[in-house]
Structure 1
Amino acid sequence: MKAIFLVGTAGAGKSLLASKILDYYSRNGAFVGMLNLDPGVENLPYTCDIDVRDHINIVDIMKQYDLGPNGSMIMANDLIASKIDDIQNEIDNVNPDYLIVDTPGQVELFAYRASGPFIVQNLNIEEKASIFLHDGSLMTSPSNFVSVALLSTSIKLRLGLPQINVLTKIDLIEDKIKDILKWSTNMTSLESSLAKSSDGENYTLAVNILRSLNLGGFAQGMIPISNVTGEGMTNLQAALSRILNLGEEVED
C-alpha cells in the first residue's frame, strides 16, 4: 500500500486534485482508497472510503466544550490522533493499492500541531509521499512566490516526507505560468524579479530566505496541474512513481 498526502493552503484545490488523482489511477487499473482527514469539511468531490467525520463531530465539540468555530477545529484536529487505531483498521479493511489522504484545509492545524506529523508517521503504510499545492492565484508575484516556497519547505520539514511541488489553477494564470515555472528552477531569475518589485529591506529579506531554500534543494521545479483539463496528471503520476514505486509507472 502507498499513501499520498495532499497538503497546501486553504483553497489551493486539495480535494479537487484528490478526486483527479483518484480518477487517473482508477482508469489505469489501480485500486484507490480515499481518506478524508478534514473534520470540518461539508462537501467533497469524491466518495470517502475512510472519513474522520465518522469519528469526530465539529458541532458536538462546539456544544460540549463551549467553543467557537476556530477552537473546535483545533480540538477536532488534535482529537484525530486519538482515533489513529480506528483509522488504521478502516484502512486495512479497504486495503487499497494507493491511499489518497486529503488533509485539513487549514494547513497550520495539520502540519504545525503535534497531531498531523503523528498521524503521518504512525500510519502503518509501506511508502508515503506528499504533494504540496502551490495555489497559482497566490504565486504571481516574486515575493508571494518566496513566501509560499518557504511554507512548502517548512511543511516538508514538519511531515518528514518526500514532497512533490505542484502549481494549481494554471487555467487562471496563463500569462504568468512561464515566469512562475522559471522562478521555481532558476534562482537568478527570481532574484532579478525580486529586485524589480521589492524595496531594499524586503528585497534583502526575500533573497536571504531564497538562498536558504536553495541550499535545502527547493529549486527543483514544480509540476503545473489543471483540475479542469487534467493537464499535468501524467507528469504528476510519473513523479509519484519515482518516489513510491521505484520508477515503475502506472500504464497510461
Structure 2
Amino acid sequence: MKRPEKRGAVANHPNVRGWAVNIIFIVGMAGSGKSSLTGAFHEWLKLNEQNSLIVNLDPGVTNLPYNPDIDIRDYISLEAIMEEYQLGPNGGLILAADLIGDNIEEVRESIEEVGPDIVLVDTPGQIELFALRESGPFITRSIAECPKAVVYLFDGPFSSKPLNYVSNMYLAATVYIRLLQPQVYALTKIDLLEEASIDEITGWTNPQRLIETLDKIQSKTASLVSRDLARAISRAHLNFKLIPVSSKTNEGFIDLNAALTRILTGGEELRP
C-alpha cells in the first residue's frame, strides 16, 4: 500500500530541539468511550496550551469523533485484507490488528516529524485485538522510546453493576500484565450516572466494601467466583482508584491530567 504523506514538517516545528514526548494509550472494552475520550481530552489539552497529537490504531473504525493526525487506515485497508485473504469481518479485523505491528516504524517516524509533547493513542474497539494479541505489547514497546502510560476505561453505566465492575477489574489487570505500563483508571460517561451511583462505584476501590457488595448477590456461584477474583486481584496490589470523567462536559479532565502527569513526568506539566 502506498505510504501516506507525512503530516507536519520537522524543520518548522518548535519542539524539534530538545523534543521529548509522552505517549498515552487509551484502552477499554468496546463501547467504553475510547474515541470520545481521546477526542475530548485532545481538545482539552489544546485549550490548556499542551501540544498533543492523536494516533488512531483501529483499522476497522468507520466514524471517529475527531480528525486523527496519524491514521492506521492510511496504511492498512480492512476491506482489502478481507478480499485478499477471503476473510469475514472478524477474521479481517484480527489480521489487520496483527499487521499494525508491521507499520509501526512508519507511525513512529510520523510522530517524530510532527514532534508533539503528548501522543494520545486510540486503540482498537475490541480490547482483545490490542491487549491480547502479540501485536499489542510489540506496538507499546516499539512506538517510541519515551515515558508511556495506559488509561483503562471503566464504562460508567456498565460498571454500575458489581459483577460487571469485577469483570472490568479482571480485564484491566490482564491489560497491565500484557502491556506492563503504568495504568490510570477512568470511570467514563458519568454524565449518564447519578451522583450516588458514581460514589458507589468509586467506593468499590476499597476491597472490603466491594466484597461486602458481592456477598449480597443472589446467585451464590456468581458471588463466590466474583469474590475470589476480587480477592486475587487485590492480592496483586493493583490500585484501581477510579477517576470519574465525562467526554461531554470535560468533568474530571483536570484530575485525569494530574494523574498522568505524576506518572509520566513526576509532577511536571506534560510538555518540555
TM-score band, normalised by shorter chain: over 0.9
Q: Is the 8 A contact 2:169 2:240 kept in 1?
A: no
Contact 2:118–2:270 (Cα < 8 Å) also in 1: no
1:5: which partner in 2?
Answer: 25
Structure 1 unaligned blocks of 5 or more: none
TM-score where L is the length of structure 1:
0.96
Counterpart in the other structure of 1:182: 203
Q: Specify whether residues 219 and 91 from structure 1 end up closer, same or farther in structure 2 by C-alpha distance, changes over 3 A only.
A: closer
Partner of residue 40, structure 1:
60
Residue pair 1:2, 1:125 contacting (<8 A) in 2 also: no
Which residue matches 1:97? 117
Out of 128, 138, 163, which is 1:143 matched to?
163
Aligned to 2:18: none
Letter in 2 for 1:240: L
| Displacement of 1:197 | 1.5
Give yes or no for contact 2:22–2:270 (8 Å, CA) kept in 1. no
Provide the C-alpha distance between the structure 2 equivalents of 1:124 and 1:250, rounded to a whole number of angstroms: 16
Of 143, 149, 153, the residue aligned with 1:123 is: 143
SS in structure 2 at match of 1:176 = helix
Is the CA contact 1:28–1:250 (under 8 Å) kept in the aligned structure 2? no
Aligned pairs for 1:56-71 (under 5 A) are 56-71=76-91
Query: Which residue does 2:190 correspond to in 1?
Result: 170
Residues 160-206 of structure 1: CA distance to partner in whole angstroms, max 9, x if unpaired? 1100001001111214111101012x111111111111433222211
Equivalent position SS for 2:216: helix
Give the letter for the 1:180 counterpart: I
Aligned amino acid, residue 230 of structure 1: N
Q: Is contact 1:139-1:148 (8 Å) kept?
A: yes
Q: Deviations over 1:19-74 (max 9, x none)?
A: 12111211121211110000011111112111100000011111111111001000
Distance in structure 1 (CA, Å) of the matches to 2:165 and 2:227: 12
Which of structure 1's runs of 4+ aligned residues deviate more than 3 A?
Answer: none
State the shift of 1:221 in Å. Answer: 1.4
Contact kept? 1:49, 1:94, Cα under 8 Å: no
- 1:231 and 1:30 map into 2 onto residues whose CA distance is 18
Tell me the residue number matched to 2:7.
none
Secondary structure of the corresponding residue to residue 201 of structure 2: helix
Counterpart AA for 2:36: L
Among all aligned residue pairs of Structure 1 and Structure 2, give the percentage whose two residues are the same amino acid: 42
How many pairs does the alignment contain? 250
Q: CA RMSD in A?
A: 1.3
What TM-score do you get using the length of structure 2 for normalisation?
0.89
Is this contact kept in 1: 2:41–2:250, CA < 8 A? no
- Provide the C-alpha distance between the structure 2 equivalents of 1:250 and 1:57, rounded to a whole number of angstroms: 33
1: distance between equivalents of 2:240 and 2:140? 24
Most deviating of 128-137 and 203-212: 203-212
Q: CA deviation at 1:250?
A: 5.5
